[in-house]
Each structure stands twice: as C-alpha cells, then as structure tokens.
Amino acid sequence: MYKYRAQLTKGDEIRYISHLDYAGVMERAIRRAKLPAAYTEGFNPHLKMSFASPLSLGVTSDAEYMDFELTKPLCQPEIFDKLSAALPPGIRLIKLKPVKEPKPCEGKKHKALMAEVEQGIYEVVAPLTGDWDEAVKAVAAYNAASEVNYHRVTPKKTRDIEVKQYMLEPVKIGMSGDWVKLTMNISITQTGSIKPVEILELLHNEYGLPVALGRALINRSKLMGQGKDLIDLV
Amino acid sequence: MIKLEPEILQAVEKPARYTGHELNAVHKDWDEVDCHFALAMADTYEVGMSNLGLKILYEVLNNRQDTACERVYAPWTDMEAIMRERSIPLFSLESFTEIKKFDFLGFTLQYEMIYSNILNMLDLAGIPIWTKDRSDVDPFIVGGGPTVYNTEPIADFFDFFILGEGEEVISEVAKTFVKWKREGKPGGRKGFLKEVAKLEGIYVPSFYNVKYNEKGYFSSIEPKEPEARAKIYKRVIKDLDSVHFVEKPVMPYIGIVHDRIMLELFRGCTRGCRFCQAGTSYRPIRERSREYLRELARKLVDSSGYNEMSLTSLSSADYSCLGELVDDLFADFEGEKVSFSLPSLRIDSFSIDLAHKMQQVRKSGLTFAPEAGTQRLRDVINKGVTEENLMTAVEAAFKQGWKQVKLYFMMGLPTETDEDIVGIARLAEKVARKYKEVKGKWGVTVTISVSCFVPKPHTPFQWFGQLPKDEFERRQRLLKDSITERAVKFHYHDARVSVLEGAISRGDRRISQVIYQAWKDGAKFDGWTDLFKEDVWHEAFRKCGIDMKEYSERTRDFDEPLPWEHTTPGVSKDFLKREWNKAVAEQLTEDCRRGKCSGCGVCPSLKVDIVDWKRKEGEVKANV
C-alpha cells in the first residue's frame, strides 16, 4: 500500500456541510479521479482514508488534511492533477505528499493523522458594532484573565470548561474595513479543546466585544503538530 | 440574488439544503438565455434531489442553448419561518435568483399529499396562488408527473399541465416560449397559453368550462378556446434509446433519500394489477437496449463517483435481458467496487438467484409484494402470484442465507372480507415457519407492511368507494390480533392520511377551495406523519361546504361522467369496465407483453408499440 497526505480546503460554498459529509464527498472525488484506491476488506468495502481534526459546521478551512492509500505508487504530479480535476466546487487540493512509512528497524509506524494534531490557528472576522477601542480593551481583558470558564451545553450534557488552558497565544485583534479580525491559536489535545466560536461568544458575552455575532465568519488557517504544518510531518 | 446570512444558516437544520454549488449543477449567465425554467419539487431537498424525472428534465432543458434550468425545493419549516420573518423570497439553488423572476416554475406532482406544499411555495415566492390572479410579471406554473391523470383538484392553481413523459414535450414548451418571446409576446399571457395548448399532451385548465348536475356531481368539461382539445392524451416516448437520459447527475453534498445512481431499464408494466395506477399510466412496456444501458452506466459512474447503482423500473426483474445486463455490468465494473441493486423483486426463484448474485455476501433483506392475503383476493386484483410461488421464493431466499423478509399488502381492496385480512397474518406466519423448516431453527424476521387502499383514476377500481377511516382501523386491529407468531412484525399506514388522499385523488375542481383553505389554516408537509394536521383538513372541507366522503367513499356509477376522463394515459373506459367485471368474477388477465393483447387501447390511441428485446428476437409474436 502507498499512503499519501493531502492538504485540502473547505471553501465558502460548502461551509455548511458536516465533517462526515465532507468525507463522503472526498470518497466520491477519489473515485471520479480513477486513482487506484485501496479499500478496506469485508462485506462493505470503503476507501482507506482518514482525516485530521473535524471542523465545525459553518467554518471554512485552508488546512483540511486527509491521508489515503493507493494500491500502486503513482507519481505525485499525476495524483495531484487527477484528484484536483475531480474535486467539487468548494474544495481545492493545496499540497500532496507521499507518506514515508518508517522502516521496521526504525520502530513504530506513523501515528494516525488524528493523533498528530496538536494545534489549530483560526481567523475570525465579524462586523464591528461599537468602538474600536472598546474592542481592543475586550480582547486585552480576555487575554489578561488567568482563568475563563465556558459553559458548554450539548444535547447530551452540560459542563464548564476552563478555556485558557487551551490558549497557546493571546488572541490577536486587527481591523479590515468595518470588520474586526481575530486570530486564535488554540491547543487541540486528546482530551479536549475549545472551539473558536466559543471563544468569540465569551469575548462578546463576558468581555463586551462589540461585534455582530450572527454575521461572524470563521476560517481555519493552519493545523499543526510538533510546531509544523501536518503536511510537513510526513 | 438572494444571500443568506450565516446566522440564518447556522440556525436551521441541514443548512446545505439551501446553499447549492453542487458538482454538475449547471450555471448559465441569466442574460445570455431567453428561457428561465425553475424545476421544483414541493418536498425537502433530500426528497426532491432523489427524483429521477427531475434529473432527466434538468439535463434536457439545460442542453438547450436558449434555456437555463435551475432547481428549487420546499424549505423545511424552520427555514420557512425565517424566510417569512425576514421577507426572503423563495430562490433557486443555482443562481440564487428569486423564483418569481423565472419564466416557468414547474412542479413534479409525485403524490397528492404535497399539494399544500405547492401552494406554500407559490406564496413564499410571492406568486399569486390562483391562476386567474397572475399577470404578465409572473412565471407560468406548470405541473407534470404521476398525479397528472387527475389534475382537477389543483387545476385552478396551474397555468398548464404536461401529461406523460416529458423528455420531448418540455423542450417543445421551451421552444414555443422562446419563439413567442422573440415575437414580442403577442397576446400576453393568454397568447402563450394558446400557443402551448396546440402541443400534444398539454392541458390548459383555464380553457375549459366545467359543469355539475343537480346532485352536485361533475357532469361535463368542455373547451371554450379553439386551441383546447376535448381530450388530452399523454405523451409517450416511442424509443427510449433515442432520448436523453441523465449523464451528469447533480451531486449533493449531504445525504439524500436515494443517494445512488438510478439506471432506468424500461418504462411501463403490463402485469395488469387492477389497483395500480402506474400500471395503467406508463403503458406500454418500452425497454432500453442492453448496449445503451451499459454505456449509460459507465457515464454515470464516471461523472458521479457513486459506488452504488440501482437498476430501476416498475418491475425491474421483468427486464428481458436482465441476466445478461447484470453480467455485463459486473464485467465492466470489476475492481471498481460498484454494487448493484434491484428495488423490487418478482416472487420467483429467478429473482432470488439474481438478488443473491448482486448482493454477494451482504444480505440486507428481501421485499416482496403479494398485496393480498388470500388467493381469492389476489385473483380479484389480478396479482398473478400464488402462495406456492411465494413459498418457493422464500425457500430459495432462506437457503441463500437471507433472514429478513418484508411483505407488502394492502387493505380495503374491493370485495375484501375479514377472512382476507386474517389471511395476511396466516401467509406471513407460513413464511416464518418456512424458515424454521429450511434452517431447522428460528431466527427470521417477517415484516408485513400494510397500506390502506386508495382507488385511483384510470384504473379498473376507479369507481370503487374507499373504506371509511374507522373501518380501516378496525381491520388494522383485526390483523394485529390475528398475528400469533413472534417472528412477524406488523407495520401499517395512517388511515387518516389515506382517506384524505382518497378524497383528493378522485376530486374535481371544487376541491381546489378545500386545498386552499387547508393551506391557509396551516396544512403543509401532509405526507410527514408528525406534521399532518387531520383536523385542519376536516375543518377545511366543512368551511367549503364539501362532504369529503362524497369523494372518498362514494361508489361511482359506470355511466357517470368522471372529472378526469379528458386527461388520459390512453387506456379506454371499456377496458377498465371489463377489468372491473373480471375482478368481481375473480378472473385473471394475462400480461400483454408476451401474451394476448388485453385491448386496453394504449398502443393504437398513442401510436406506440411494445419494445421488448426478447420478443423482438422472434421468440414470441404478440398479436396487435
């Protein structure tokens, strides 16, 4: 088997499809590309593919990662071109690399893609509804706080999460036109993380960030492990 | 162009229903084409996107240089509430253009219970509900599809209907429109309707006068414009290899109801089941050639990336070269992990062997439709299936490893007695015990799914009075109490919906008022059990002074004029009467594709012939 890692986008056109639907769309794209894809064994064979950290509904991304396997080693440009041509609107292939499996003497195999993820960088834009100074102050106050709790309600359970443990850097604030631009560098761990939309909610509700929450747009710009983009870990 | 804010899309269930941009969707420059056609289904995105007819027409229309065809479906109730609150009009999924700006809005009429949704969509689009209130700025509202053989209950909401198969006529409609538009739209709205009424298969309801007799029953419908025909026959494609079929289906990003390739093998079914409207309205049998189907299968797999293909037809196992076709497909797609399925199985071992071959190891479950519980009643409905046939088929299935069997039945068929109802339970139990006999142990599930019979226009049962709701419910209880075997599971349809469907499907133009009233009072998504509002509908009948039971339960006279006879699939009234008499006499009629012609009238009146590749090879020469 020959494993490859792809860095893909999730564009504005498809920001409202779920992680599972995104995987289904990629499976059909690989089929349309006529790549010699590897399938799982069993009664219900499906493509051998795996994804990194799932993206929330409504969030776009420049850093979706997918590992997949082929039964024949094709050259990188051929796979890149065939797959690119088969992608639907809203998905672009940015980079593609073969995953070099370590030799048996070198010890363990590559970690699962999901397990390599440690860090995500997100950009959040939202229309400013008040003073710029007020916005800067809100972000500064949030950054200065030693502990911030987010009350997460899901259909199954409700719990409080301490947010600051996941902040790898202070939230940065900038302006573009009438829109506030926030950059969040968030730690993603095996046991949990915090979503950028939750940080935005806290900034708005608890720290008075004057933005139109309902019109905010979030984009994942990077997904990293060991301080590097996931595509550079292979 | 309609732009939905993130806060709207974040607030609704399945927002990708409204965001378009699917692969293979066709985007044309609005100003570059003369004809803008919105194709609609008055149901959710997932249901609408699964409809084969719409997929075909979408490609046929978009293949025309002068036409842009876009899609629109009914927004779910959460989205509708937001659209109404913020005054967002109904929009198309390609260019996000307001539906009101299109030249045509075409609805596929799949079943009666979506009529309230059609009104709701017109309202959301800002288009007047009643045809008479529309002006030159409004699109033409067009309907076509299975319920088009009695359009009277919705006649006052539509500008025109297309009867029968649409591949050729929809293009003629577009062509007629473009010509009329380029000539400066002579005669305005009515001028176009006069032009389009000249095409075969087109029914313009506003061009007719309807009369009722002193008892209040429908008595006549007569043309009042020279262009209107006294009788409109359906359109039929003589050679299915000669018309366009789907080649590049629009690929949804989210799961839809039929999320697979649909390869249509043939149209029509002449087995002659007397309850079945599809059986009379899609006549005669016309098969696609094995070579063309093979070619289509390749194109569809390549353009979609799907790994599942359903070989669809009314009775797919009747395709004359099915065994050979399946061999071809297996060979063509070897190594591509494409799986094939048949949506319906015939009750015989040929079907079982084929299903076994197609499903290989995965045995999901088999579905058969004996339709009635006793031989007597199966003879009444001309379901040429015996208990022995069923037992042979399930025995073969159990030997091949299946453990789940689903059996479809109907209740409320003409002449049905309690014995026939109990017979359903007995038959299901025999199937369950057959498993024990074959396998030497229990472990089977036999699910019986029982619907309530709705008599339909242009069938031999079109005169028959439907059972009252309470009687359906009594028979459902009787059946439930008659089941003693634990392996048998019982599902039944909601009789409240079936009797409403019964009233609407044989309704006349006065039913329009009731549908309008029910919609006004909040009826929508009536086919969705949890949203069906029985009381709203009953109240609507009352407010309009119309007795629902007159439409559902009344047995019509043979010589009584029926409100749907001017829009016909071509079967003659004499044939239907003959079939009714044979039903009561428990006599069978054979399938005309290989056997004797039953004289239904379709072939001569539509100038069409059976296309059956095995018959063509000279095996049988049927009489003409």
Span B466-480, pLDDT tens digits: 999 999 999 999 999
Residues B222 and B76 grouped into a single domain: yes
Look at residue B110 and tell me if it is in a domain. yes
Q: State the DSSP string of A133-196.
A: HHHHHHHHHHHH-S--EEEEE-SS-EEEEE-GGGBSSPPEEEEETTEEEEEEEEE-BTTB---H
Q: Are residues B304 and A90, on separate chains, in Cβ contact within 8 Å? A: no
Place of tokens 């609507």: B540
Residues A82 and A9 grouped into a single domain: yes
CB pairs under 8 A between A and B: 72
The pLDDT-based confidence of B568 (bands split at 50, 70, 90) is very high
| Cβ atoms of A225 and A116 closer than 8 Å | yes
* Three-state secondary-structure class, residue B451: strand
State both tokens at A226. 């060991």
* Three-state secondary-structure class, residue A46: coil
Q: Which residues of B touch A86 (CB under 8 A)?
A: 305
Q: Which residues of B touch A213 (CB under 8 A)?
A: 7
Residues A110 and A133 grouped into a single domain: no
Whether B617 has a pLDDT exceeding 70, the answer reads: no
Structural domain ending residue among the three candidates B233, B249, B279:
B233
Residue B377 φ then ψ, to 5°: -70, -35
Q: Residue A4: which H helix or E strand, with range?
A: strand A2-10
| Cβ atoms of A180 and A128 closer than 8 Å | yes
Residues A99 and A7 grouped into a single domain: yes
Range of the domain at B572: 363-510+546-577
Beta strands B366-371; B286-287: pairing state: unpaired
Range of the domain at A56: 2-116
Whether B401 has a pLDDT exceeding 60, the answer reads: yes
CATH code at B111? Answer: 3.40.50.280
Which residues, at least 6 apart from A191, have a Cβ–Cβ distance to it below 8 Å? none
Span B15-46, pLDDT tens digits: 999 999 999 999 999 999 999 999 999 999 99
Residue of A16, A34, A215 with shortest CB distance to B15: A16
Task: Give the C-alpha separation, A103 to A128, whole Å.
Answer: 54
CA–centroid distance for B59 within its chain? 20
Whether B623 has a pLDDT exceeding 60, the answer reads: no
Q: Are residues A214 and B305, on separate chains, in Cβ contact within 8 Å? A: no
Q: State the DSSP string of B334-365.
A: TTTT-EEE-SS--SSHHHHHHHHHHHTT----
Identify the CA nearest to B543 among candidates B523, B513, B563. B513
Look at residue B506 and tell me if it is in a domain. yes
Span B508-556, pLDDT tens digits: 999 999 999 999 999 999 999 899 999 999 999 999 999 999 999 999 9
pLDDT over 90, % of chain A: 85
Q: Are residues B21 and A30, on separate chains, in Cβ contact within 8 Å? A: no
pLDDT for the residue numbered B428: 97
Look at residue B596 and tell me if it is in a domain. no
Residue of A21, A28, A213 with shortest CB distance to B254: A21
State both tokens at B157. 């909401």
Residues A109 and A144 grouped into a single domain: no
Cα angle for residues B492, B497, B498 (degrees, 5° grid): 70
pLDDT for the residue numbered B362: 57
Q: Tell whether the torsion through CA atoms of B32, B35, B39 and B42 is positive or negative.
A: positive
* Three-state secondary-structure class, residue A64: strand
Give A41→chain B minimum CA distance, Å.
Answer: 11
pLDDT for the residue numbered B356: 84
* Three-state secondary-structure class, residue B617: coil
pLDDT over 70, % of chain B: 98
| Cβ atoms < 10 Å from Cβ of B15 | 21
Whether B12 has a pLDDT exceeding 50, the answer reads: yes
The answer to whether B280 contacts chain A (CB < 8 Å) is no
Look at residue B339 and tell me if it is in a domain. no
pLDDT for the residue numbered B369: 93
The pLDDT-based confidence of B621 (bands split at 50, 70, 90) is very low
Q: Are residues B16 and A14, on separate chains, in Cβ contact within 8 Å? A: yes
Nearest residue on chain A to B10, judged by CA atoms?
A: A58
Residues A141 and A176 grouped into a single domain: yes
pLDDT over 70, % of chain A: 97
Whether B168 has a pLDDT exceeding 80, the answer reads: yes
Task: Give the C-alpha separation, A20 to A179, whole Å.
Answer: 31
Residues A108 and A145 grouped into a single domain: no
Q: Are residues B6 and A58, on separate chains, in Cβ contact within 8 Å? A: yes
Those of residues 304-323 in B touching chain A at CB distance below 8 A are 304-307
Domain count for chain A: 2
Residue of B16, B305, B362 with shortest CB distance to A31: B305
pLDDT for the residue numbered A44: 77
Residue B328 φ then ψ, to 5°: -55, -50
Give B241→chain A minimum CA distance, Å.
Answer: 26
Residue ranges with strand state E in B42-101: 67-73
Span B216-243, pLDDT tens digits: 899 999 999 999 999 999 999 999 999 9
Identify the CA nearest to B479 among candidates B553, B406, B428, B524. B428
Average pLDDT, chain B: 95
pLDDT for the residue numbered B619: 53
| Cβ atoms of B345 and B317 closer than 8 Å | yes
Structural domain ending residue among the three candidates A116, A132, A161:
A116
Look at residue B123 and tell me if it is in a domain. yes
Nearest residue on chain B to A91, judged by CA atoms?
A: B23
The structure's pTM equals 0.95
Residue type, B225: E
The pLDDT-based confidence of A104 (bands split at 50, 70, 90) is low
Identify the CA nearest to B464 among candidates B417, B506, B497. B506
Give B23→chain A minimum CA distance, Å.
Answer: 5
State both tokens at B228. 């209107």
Span A134-152, pLDDT tens digits: 999 999 999 999 999 999 9
Task: Give the C-alpha separation, B37 to B162, whole Å.
Answer: 14
Task: Give the C-alpha separation, A166 to A190, whole Å.
Answer: 12
Q: State the DSSP string of B359-412.
A: HTT----EEEEEESSSHHHHHHTT----HHHHHHHHHHHHHTT--EEEEEEEES
Give A20→chain B minimum CA distance, Å.
Answer: 9
Task: Give the C-alpha separation, B423 to B417, whole Å.
Answer: 10
Q: Which residues of A touch B361 (CB under 8 A)?
A: 43
Q: Which residues are registered as beta bridge partners of B489?
A: B447
| Cβ atoms of B442 and B413 closer than 8 Å | no
Q: Are residues A213 and B307, on separate chains, in Cβ contact within 8 Å? A: no
State both tokens at B105. 């809005």
Look at residue A231 and tell me if it is in a domain. no
pLDDT for the residue numbered A98: 95
Residue B410 φ then ψ, to 5°: -125, 150
pLDDT for the residue numbered B172: 98
State both tokens at B168. 């050729």
pLDDT for the residue numbered A106: 65
Give B307→chain A minimum CA distance, Å.
Answer: 8
- Rg of the Cα atoms in chain B: 24
Q: Are residues A32 and B305, on separate chains, in Cβ contact within 8 Å? A: yes
Span B268-305, pLDDT tens digits: 999 999 999 999 999 999 999 999 999 999 999 999 99
Q: Are residues B23 and A88, on separate chains, in Cβ contact within 8 Å? A: yes
* Three-state secondary-structure class, residue B22: coil
Q: Are residues B305 and A17, on separate chains, in Cβ contact within 8 Å? A: no
Span B492-502, pLDDT tens digits: 999 999 999 99
Place of tokens 């030249």: B103
Q: Tell whether the torsion through CA atoms of B397, B398, B404 and B408 is positive or negative.
A: positive
Q: Are residues B304 and A28, on separate chains, in Cβ contact within 8 Å? A: yes
The pLDDT-based confidence of A205 (bands split at 50, 70, 90) is very high
Go through B408-447 and write b for each residue having 16 or more CB atoms within 10 A of its CB, e for each that does not: bbbbbbbebeeebbbbbbbbbbbbbbbbeeeeeeeebebb
| Most B CBs within 10 Å, among A12, A13, A15, A16, to test the B interface | A16
Structural domain ending residue among the three candidates A116, A147, A166:
A116
Beta strands B67-73; B35-41: pairing state: parallel
| Cβ atoms < 10 Å from Cβ of A45 | 13
Q: Which residues are registered as beta bridge partners of A68?
A: A4, A49
Q: In what order do the strands lie in the sheet with B445-452?
A: B366-371, B404-411, B445-452, B488-492
Task: Give the C-alpha separation, B565 to B568, whole Å.
Answer: 6
Residues A19 and A88 grouped into a single domain: yes
Cα angle for residues B318, B282, B420 (degrees, 5° grid): 70
The answer to whether B27 contacts chain A (CB < 8 Å) is no
- Rg of the Cα atoms in chain A: 20
Give A38→chain B minimum CA distance, Å.
Answer: 10
Structural domain ending residue among the three candidates A86, A116, A146:
A116
Residue of B10, B336, B362 with shortest CB distance to A58: B10
Nearest residue on chain A to B250, judged by CA atoms?
A: A88
pLDDT for the residue numbered B618: 56
Domain count for chain B: 2
Structural domain ending residue among the three candidates B177, B212, B233:
B233
Q: Are residues B7 and A213, on separate chains, in Cβ contact within 8 Å? A: yes
Look at residue B287 and tell me if it is in a domain. no
Task: Give the C-alpha separation, B235 to B166, whole Å.
Answer: 7
Give the CA-trace dihedral at B344, B347, B349, B352, to 10 degrees.
30
Residues A135 and A180 grouped into a single domain: yes
Residues A106 and A173 grouped into a single domain: no
Residues A166 and A208 grouped into a single domain: yes
Whether B620 has a pLDDT exceeding 60, the answer reads: no
Whether A195 has a pLDDT exceeding 90, the answer reads: yes
Residues A94 and A167 grouped into a single domain: no
Task: Give the C-alpha separation, B435 to B351, whole Å.
Answer: 18
CATH code at B394? Answer: 3.30.750.200
pLDDT (average), residues B82-105: 98
CA–centroid distance for B24 within its chain? 25
Residues A123 and A88 grouped into a single domain: no
Q: Which residues of B touch A21 (CB under 8 A)?
A: 16, 253-255
pLDDT for the residue numbered A111: 78
pLDDT for the residue numbered B360: 61
Give B478→chain A minimum CA distance, Å.
Answer: 41
* Three-state secondary-structure class, residue B47: helix
Look at residue A232 and tell me if it is in a domain. no
pLDDT (average), residues A175-186: 95
Residue of A21, A31, A43 with shortest CB distance to B307: A31
Look at residue B333 and tell me if it is in a domain. no
Identify the CA nearest to B284 among candidates B618, B595, B593, B620. B593
Give B76→chain A minimum CA distance, Å.
Answer: 16
pLDDT (average), residues B381-388: 94
pLDDT (average), residues B336-340: 90
Span B121-142, pLDDT tens digits: 999 999 999 999 999 999 999 9
Whether B78 has a pLDDT exceeding 60, the answer reads: yes
Structural domain ending residue among the three candidates B193, B210, B233:
B233
Residue ranges with strand state E in B177-312: 202-203, 208-212, 218-223, 232-233, 261-264, 266-267, 286-287, 308-312
Look at residue B617 and tell me if it is in a domain. no
Task: Give the C-alpha separation, B99 to A50, whole Å.
Answer: 41
The CA–CA distances, whole Å, from B373 to B68, B248, B369, B446 equal: 50, 43, 11, 14
pLDDT for the residue numbered B82: 98
Identify the CA nearest to B253 among candidates A85, A26, A45. A26
Cα angle for residues B315, B319, B324 (degrees, 5° grid): 140
Give A103→chain B minimum CA distance, Å.
Answer: 30
| Cβ atoms of B517 and B544 closer than 8 Å | yes
